[in-house]
Amino acid sequence: MIIALRKQSARVLSMVGEYSLLFLRVAKSIVVKPPSWRLLREQLFHIGVMSFSVVAITGFTTGFVLAAQSFYQLGEKGLAGMTGAMVGKSMIAELGPILTALMVTGRVGASMCAELGTMRVTEQIDALRSMAVHPYSYLVAPRVVAGILMIPLLTLFSVAMGIFGGYLIASSLSQMTLIQYFTPMMRHVSAFDILSCLIKAFVFGILLVTVCCYKGMTTTGGAAGVGKATTQSVVTSYILILVSDFLLTLGLHSLHQHLRYGWIQP
């Protein structure tokens, strides 16, 4: 038991070290020599444009559910007018970033890992090295840059669709007007909520792209290994996104409280 635990701990530490090296090498390659526009454009289209439909459906239906739940729960207390504020606050502060990251991981992250894993087991990556092409600069860097750029934009799009979907439900259930829906939202949603939404989306984008690329670049074991690496990349990305969401929520709110009330208490 102890020996197995030690082996597992050593394996986890080795993976963390390999992932950290990949992250540093990719960051260095982006700074020293940014990826070409041709490679970046392909990944922007693959990650961003091709994910619009699934992100739109996810945000739209989530807004439906939030508005319906908020209306029924708040209506019992005579606070049905706060439905817009509940939908906007929930979508911007939490559900927009987390749901977008999870959906993009399932749609884009899995395909990234499978593509890179197939290239690894068929020795295409070794062929790139033999032609003096750095695989991190050519394969991973464009995906990381595209993820950093597109996932915050997809998150904002998901939030907008969720708020719009919530308005449709609120207007149909209680004949709420546009002003009645958006006025409480504008009063209770702050610039900090929007900033924290973008920060979370930025971090989630880095995590899901780098983890999926790392799993793909380290795939072994042929076709079965590709399937196993793809599953591991999605599960690991989900766990890291959820854990980092909790840590970011605590850290950002703590920072906001310090900035709001002052670093030095009298």
d(CA 24, CA 85): 41
| Alpha helix ranges (H) inside 96-189 | 96-104, 110-121, 124-130, 135, 141-174, 178-188
Given pLDDT bands bounded at 50, 70 and 90, which one contains residue 14?
Answer: confident
Residue 7 lies in a domain: no
Angle at alpha carbon of residue 263, lines to 257 and 266, rounded to 5°: 110
Other CB atoms within 10 A of residue 216 CB: 28
Asked if 66 and 95 count as a contact pair (C-beta separation under 8 A), the reply is yes
Residue 96 clears pLDDT 90, i.e. is over it: yes
Residue 150 clears pLDDT 90, i.e. is over it: yes
Residue 33 clears pLDDT 90, i.e. is over it: no
The per-residue pLDDT for range 98-116, each reduced to its tens digit, is 999 999 999 999 999 999 9
Residue 260 lies in a domain: no
Residue 266 clears pLDDT 60, i.e. is over it: no
Residue 52 lies in a domain: yes
Residue 251 lies in a domain: no
Asked if 183 and 77 count as a contact pair (C-beta separation under 8 A), the reply is no
Residue 79 sits in which domain range?
A: 36-243
| Mean pLDDT rounded to a whole number for the chain | 88
d(CA 137, CA 65): 43
Overall number of domains in the chain = 1
Residue 174 lies in a domain: yes
Residue 169 lies in a domain: yes
Residue 43 lies in a domain: yes
Supply the pTM of this predicted model: 0.90
The per-residue pLDDT for range 178-211, each reduced to its tens digit, is 888 888 888 888 888 999 999 999 999 999 999 9
d(CA 29, CA 42): 18
Residue 253 lies in a domain: no
Kindly state the average pLDDT of the residues 104-130.
91
